[in-house]
Structure 1
Amino acid sequence: MKTLKIDIVSDVMCPWCIIGYKNLEKALSELHGEINAEISWKPFELNPNMPPEGQDLNEHLTQKYGLTPEQSKDNRQRLIDAGKDADFTFNFDDKRMIINSFDCHRLLAWAATLNKQTELKLALFKAHFSDLVNLNEQSALLDIVASVGLDTDRAQEILAGGEFFQEVRSQQSDIQQMGITTVPTFIINEQYALTGGQPSAAFVQAFKQITEEEAQQNAE
């Protein structure tokens, strides 16, 4: 069985990141017995200059992308439909906030050292997009940490201090040097990349092609 190393560049504020991941899961399920994946998450901030209190989502979309209320509504429905296809539930209301996600990335870097990174990432996606939790509230983050079996006292220490600051910044620098500006980006075996909320069929096709190419290279 072939093992693929998959690094996912993403932000928990990015709805297409969870759609892409859920479709990746489907593809890996379809290829069960043929391909095994070692998954890690790399940090990307969609809004690195966002203040701690965050910003109203509608206001943010208008300022950043120039979307009209009708365009925002259409975009939300598109996400809801794509989420259903990917077995993920999006809930939207008029009180949604978008935040700076740097503390989330610091907690994810910590979780990676305990082999809990994917569990925490998925819990953060669910909290933000399905359960309408504000991820800039420390108590909410600690509840999410607890839900995946991580130590809340340790998490509180990290949030209160500067731990994992440099680790996240270093990874972000590496990503910038690779020229990655779009999330999600799926980097396979540090050589190949897929971007966007790809359907599961696209992952299946890409993985089969990659394994065939690498098998040919090894045979030469």
Structure 2
Amino acid sequence: MTTLKIDLVSDIACPWCAIGYARLQQAVATLPQLQIELEWHAFELNPDKNAPQEPILPALSRKYGRSEDEMRASQANMMKIAADLGLNFSKMQQRYTCNTFDGHRLVKWAATENKATAMKLALFDAYFGEAKDVSDATVLANCAEQAGLDKAQAERILSGDDYADSVTEDIANYQQAGISSVPAFIINNRYLISGAQEPAQLAASLQQIAAEMA
């Protein structure tokens, strides 16, 4: 059996990151000969912690230079893709922009408890499925509890700066490596797969990489 290490660079506020992970799961399910070791890494779409929060549609409209109707249609398409993958994106058009640094800190902590993926999925669900503010400490602590982590410990982490250096280092390292959009899948520190590719395409890429590593 071939083992592939996948470093997944993503942001909690990135819908394609949630879709990309779900597609990865589908791809891996078709490759029983491969063993996957996954590690989540931080990226920030909204790095300014002091930026005022605003409704997502006008924010995206301004960012991409497209009308709100165009952004609404784009989001609706993502909602359909997500639903087909079993993801809850039901309130993604009702969410607000927010900084995700503290959420990334909890993912780093969750990794020490082997619950990073559960933490990440709880954050995706809160943000896209429930339009919750995933920069809010109460929301984040509740997500940690949902992921099977100790809520009181999450609150203690959020009240301090635990794992902040780890997140900052993560973000800087991948920026320096040239990662400017997410999701980014880095395989065995050698191969880069960018974007939320379709499961079949992703599976073919992983199979090819595994063959080259053999």
Q: How far apart, CA to CA, are the structure 2 residues paired with 1:95 and 1:130?
A: 10
**CA contact 2:58–2:68 (8 Å) conserved in 1:** no
Structure 1 range deviating more: 36-45 or 143-152: 143-152
Tell me, what secondary structure is at the counterpart of 2:73? helix
Tell me how far 1:210 sits from its aligned partner.
0.7
1:188, 1:8 → 2: CA distance?
9
Q: TM-score, normalization: structure 1?
A: 0.92
Following superposition, the deviation at residue 52 of structure 1 comes to 6.4
Q: State the match for 1:35 in structure 2.
A: 34
- Give the count of matched residue pairs: 214
Equivalent pair of 1:109/1:167 in contact (CA under 8 Å): yes
Select between 126-135 and 106-115 the one with higher mean Cα deviation: 126-135
Q: Quick one: distance in 2 between partners of 1:154 and 1:207?
A: 37
- Residue pair 2:19, 2:82 contacting (<8 A) in 1 also: yes
Q: Could you tell me the TM-score, scaled by structure 2's length?
A: 0.95
* Residue in structure 1 matched with residue 9 of structure 2 by the alignment: 9
Distance 1:2 1:159 in 2: 38
After superposition, residues 1-220 of structure 1 pair within 5 angstroms as: 1-32=1-32, 34-51=33-50, 54-92=53-91, 95-215=94-214
* Residues 74/106 of structure 1: CA separation in 2 closer, same or farther (3 Å cut): same
Q: CA deviation at 1:149?
A: 1.6
Aligned amino acid, residue 92 of structure 1: K
2:20 is aligned with what amino acid? G
| Larger displacement relative to structure 2 (50-59 or 143-152) | 50-59
Unaligned runs of 5+ in 1: 216-220
Partner of 1:218: none
Shift of 1:199: 0.6
Separation (CA, whole Å) in 1 of partners of 2:92 and 2:206:
37
RMSD of aligned C-alpha atoms? 1.5
Most deviating of 88-97 and 99-108? 88-97
Gaps of 5+ in 2: none
What one-letter code is carried by the residue in structure 1 that aligns with 2:44?
Answer: E
Percent identity between the two aligned chains: 37
